[in-house]
Amino acid sequence: MSIKQPLDKSDLPLNGILVLDFSQFLAGPVAAMRLADMGARVIKVERPGTGDIGRTLAFAGLEKDGDTLSFHIMNRNKESFAADLKNSEGLAQVWELVKKADVIIQNFRPGVIERLGLGYEDVEKVNPRIVYGSATGYGAEGPFKDRPGQDLLAQSISGLPWLNGRAGDPPIPVGLAVADIFTSTHLASGVIALLLRRERTGKGGLVESSLLESMLDLQFELISANLFDPSVVVNRGAGNSAHAFLPAPYGLYPTKNGYLAIAMTPIPALGKLLGVDLDRYEDPKSWWSEQEAIMKALSTKVATQETDHWLAILDAADIWCAPVLTLPELVEHEGFSAIDMVQKTERTGKDGSKVTIPTTRSPMRIDGKTVKHSKGAPHVGEDTEKIRKEFGI
């Protein structure tokens, strides 16, 4: 069931939950954003003046109203409380918020939050019902723990770049912050799980995740296979291959006007549909041993016609295939419109004008309805006085 209207905030599952977001950059803020999407009230605790350093970390160099686009979209639907955690007065004010909070999110390097006196063990003594979410680069122990917790570095240590590309290519990292994004998802789901446990038992708890653990989890099939059989290692495919562990025809093929993706399909049947003689490859073992020759033959044929020509043939035969869309093609496609993934957030700019930021919505639907919020990211300390009055601090 799908209803093209957003859910009322009162119907959101985390309505009434108070989250303190001490995090910066990406993994922590996005985890808190996911909780806000589900209805939680998120107060972002920031340094006075400069705020979250993510305010200056620009994706594609884009910024608006003094903050980067990245900050706007990762901190939508939050409030900002400015406090210097190294100042006794500021720290005392934050403790008053901690006492009333349901959730804390932080992603400092190991040991930093503890030195500030706001580690889980300190907070739990004051607020035993707290659900405490902590994200790091590589966990709190081991030889990597003090290395900068940055996406490319975590991808690299995890070996992920060796899965991309084809035989003979150098390691190719994923061109998105996949370590941060997956960590944010794991952290948010852990927080929600502990909130459910607290509902049943009254007990809060600590959930921890890291960029490295998230990248290892992403590769759970590969790592499990290697642990089961150490001879299983990454040998990237030849030709048009899109997967080091799947045979022909699995890959991307150039057409006359773009690219066509073809997934798992019996080779002789595919050859008949495309008009390529591949009958000699009836044995599935040959789809591995002759991968390069098969893909070369397919590629030569597919390049003779436009993408839609091949889609019409393959779709009619229920072959697993798809066009490879460019970014402009995607956002203009009726399929993108149909899934209703876009929302717009707003805030009052520093000059008093209305600042509107288009972005994606939560990828979940609740009760058949999309989850959208119009509240934009806050200015540094925008809500400090309001929060002080509300909480009597």
b/e map 301-330, b = 16+ CB within 10 Å: bbeebebeebbeebeeeebebebebeeeee
For residue 202, the one-letter residue type is: G
Instruction: Give the strand pairing for 342-348 and 103-106.
Output: unpaired
In the chain, which ranges are E strands?
Answer: 3-6, 18-21, 41-46, 63-64, 67-68, 78-82, 103-106, 131-136, 205-210, 251-254, 259-262, 321-323, 342-348, 354-360, 365-366, 369-370
Two tokens at 98?
């901690």
Catalytic residue among 37, 52, 102, 180: 180
The answer to whether 27 and 184 have CB atoms below 8 angstroms apart is yes
Point out which residues pair with 129 in neighbouring strands: none
Residue where the block lists tokens 């390529």: 276
Residue where the block lists tokens 């509300």: 390
Point out which residues pair with 252 in neighbouring strands: 261
Handedness of CA 145, 147, 148, 152 (dihedral sign): negative
Handedness of CA 290, 291, 293, 297 (dihedral sign): positive
**Beta-carbon contacts of residue 162 (< 8 Å; ≥ 6 apart):** 171, 234, 236
DSSP states along 59-110: GGG-EETTEEHHHHHHSTTEEEEE--TTSHHHHHHHHHHHHH-SEEEE-PPT
The answer to whether 34 and 184 have CB atoms below 8 angstroms apart is yes
The answer to whether 36 and 42 have CB atoms below 8 angstroms apart is yes
Instruction: Give the strand pairing for 342-348 and 321-323.
Output: unpaired
- Is 180 a residue of the active site? yes
Q: Which of 97, 114, 137 is nearest to 388 (CA)?
A: 97
* Catalytic residue positions, numbered: 180
